[in-house]
Amino acid sequence: MEDSKNLTSAADGTPKVTGIGGIFFFSDNPKETKDWYAKNLGVEINAWGSVSFDSRNLNNPDEVETLQWSPFKKGDEYFAPSKKEFMINYRVQNLEALLEKLKENGVTILDEVATYDFGKFIHIMDAEGNKIELWEPK
C-alpha cells in the first residue's frame, strides 16, 4: 500500500531532490553508442543529441517530467572536476533554499545558478567526488 504522505510531500516546497533529471556517461564514441541504442533498443535521439524519457508526475498527472540520457565523449570537460565516468542530474524543488542548505553543510558548489527557458541549474560535488547537476524545471 502506498504511503499517501509520500505522494503529497513533493508539492510542499521543501528544498530537496524530487527525481532523476538525467543520466550522462562517458563513451569512446558517443555517436556509435547513440546509434547502437537507437538501432537495438529503439531510443530516439532528440535535437539536443540526447534521449528524452517522459513520465507523469504522481502529484500532478497533467505534468510531464523528462529524464535526459546522453553519452559524452570520454574526457569531456563538462564532467570536470570529477574524475568519474558518469554524472547524474537530479530534478529538485526550491533550488535557492536547497543551495543555502548545501552551503551551510559545507558542500562544494562549483558554479552559480544558471537560468534557461527550461529551468535553473547548478553543479555541486558529493562526498565521493562525483559531480552532480541540480535542475529545477520551470
Query: What's this model's pTM, rounded to 2 decimal places?
Result: 0.83
Q: Find how far residue 118's CA is from the centre of its chain.
A: 13
Q: What is the pLDDT of residue 7?
A: 46
Residue 63 vs residue 114, higher pLDDT = 114
Q: What is the pLDDT of residue 11?
A: 62
pLDDT tens figures, 67-124? 999 999 999 999 999 999 999 999 999 999 999 999 999 999 999 999 999 899 999 9
Sorted by sequence, the CB contacts under 8 Å of residue 20 that are 6+ apart come out as 67, 88, 89, 90, 91
The band of 59, judged by pLDDT with boundaries at 50, 70 and 90, is: confident
